[in-house]
Amino acid sequence: MRLHCLNRNGFWLVALFFATAAYATDVEPKRSLFDLSLEELVQVQVVTAASGYAQNLLDAPASVSIIEAEEWEANGARTLNDAIRALPGVQITKVQTGATKDKISLRGLSGTFGQQVLMLVDGLPINRLYDGGVNFGNRIPLIGFKRIEVVKGPGSAVYGADAFGGVINLVSYEPGEMPSKLVFRHGGFDTWEAGFSHALKIGDGALQLAYEYQRSADDSGKTVNTDLQSTFDRIFGTTASHAPGKFDEHYTISSLRARWKWHALSFDVNDWRNLGAGLGAGVAQALDPRGYSKEATANYKLGLDLSAFAPGQLDFHLSYRREVTSTLFNIFPPGARLPIGSDGNLNFVVPVNLVTFPDGYIGFPRLNNRAYSADLIHVLEVGEAHRVRWEFGYDQIQLHAQETKNFGPGVIDGSKLVVGGTLADVTGTPYVFMRNQSRDVWHLSLQDEWKITEELRATLGVRQDHYANFGATTNPRLGASYRLSKDVAFKVSAGSAFRAPSFVDLYVSNNPAGVGNPVLQPETIRTVDAGFSAIMPFAEQLQIDVSIFRYDAKRLIEFVAVPVTGVQVAQNVGTRNGQGFEFSGRWQVAKGLSTDFNYSFVDEENEWGRPQPEVARQTAYLGGHWQPNDKYHAYVGVKWVADRQRAAGDLRPSIADYYLGSAKLERRFDHLAISLSVENLFNAAAREPSNGSIADDYPLAGRQWMLETSWTF
Q: Tens digits of per-residue pLDDT, 525-549?
A: 999 999 999 988 777 789 999 999 9
Full domain range(s) for residue 308? 3-712
Rounded CA-CA distance 566/578 in Å is: 31
Rounded CA-CA distance 150/160 in Å is: 16
Q: What is the per-residue pLDDT for 564? A: 61
Number of domains composing the chain: 1
Query: 328, 225, 331: which is closest to 278 by C-alpha?
Result: 328
The backbone torsions φ and ψ at residue 675, rounded to the nearest 5 degrees and listed phi first, read: -140, 155
Rounded CA-CA distance 546/534 in Å is: 9
DSSP code of 702? Answer: -
Rounded CA-CA distance 712/178 in Å is: 11
CB 41 within 8 A of CB 33: yes
CB 369 within 8 A of CB 399: yes
- Give 644's contacts (C-beta < 8 A, 6+ positions apart): 613, 614, 615, 616, 617, 655, 657, 689
Rounded CA-CA distance 559/520 in Å is: 12
Q: What is the per-residue pLDDT for 359? A: 97
Which H or E run contains 391? strand 386-399
Amino acid in the structure at residue 32: S
Q: What is the per-residue pLDDT for 680? A: 97
Q: What is the per-residue pLDDT for 565? A: 62
Rounded CA-CA distance 319/389 in Å is: 20
Amino acid in the structure at residue 588: Q
Q: Give me the CATH number covering residue 44.
A: 2.40.170.20
Query: 424, 430, 572: which is closest to 501 by C-alpha?
Result: 572
The angle formed by the CA atoms of residues 85, 87 and 91, to the nearest 5 degrees, is 50
The angle formed by the CA atoms of residues 308, 309 and 312, to the nearest 5 degrees, is 70
Rounded CA-CA distance 187/16 in Å is: 27
Rounded CA-CA distance 60/78 in Å is: 28
CB 550 within 8 A of CB 593: no
Rounded CA-CA distance 111/192 in Å is: 32
DSSP code of 312? Answer: S
Q: What is the per-residue pLDDT for 44? A: 77
Rounded CA-CA distance 518/109 in Å is: 24
Q: How far is CA 13 from CA 186, 194, 253, 255, 258, in A?
A: 20, 11, 15, 11, 11
Query: 239, 105, 130: which is closest to 576 by C-alpha?
Result: 105
Q: What is the per-residue pLDDT for 66? A: 94
Rounded CA-CA distance 161/118 in Å is: 8
Query: 77, 63, 68: which is closest to 41 by C-alpha?
Result: 68
**What is the 3-state secondary structure of 409-445?**
CCCCCCCCCECCCCCEECCCCCCCCCCCEEEEEEEEE
Rounded CA-CA distance 127/163 in Å is: 11
For the chain, residues with pLDDT lower than 70 are 1-31, 137, 563-566
Q: What is the per-residue pLDDT for 14? A: 43
CB 227 within 8 A of CB 247: no
DSSP letters, 574-587, are EEEEEEEEEEEEEE
Q: What is the per-residue pLDDT for 5? A: 41
Rounded CA-CA distance 566/367 in Å is: 28
Q: How far is CA 565 from CA 174, 333, 469, 509, in A?
A: 56, 25, 28, 15
Number of C-beta neighbours around residue 195 at 10 A? 25
Query: 174, 180, 173: which is closest to 22 by C-alpha?
Result: 180
Burial of 398 (0-12, 13-18, 19+ CB in 10 A): middle
Q: What is the per-residue pLDDT for 30? A: 60
CB 61 within 8 A of CB 477: yes
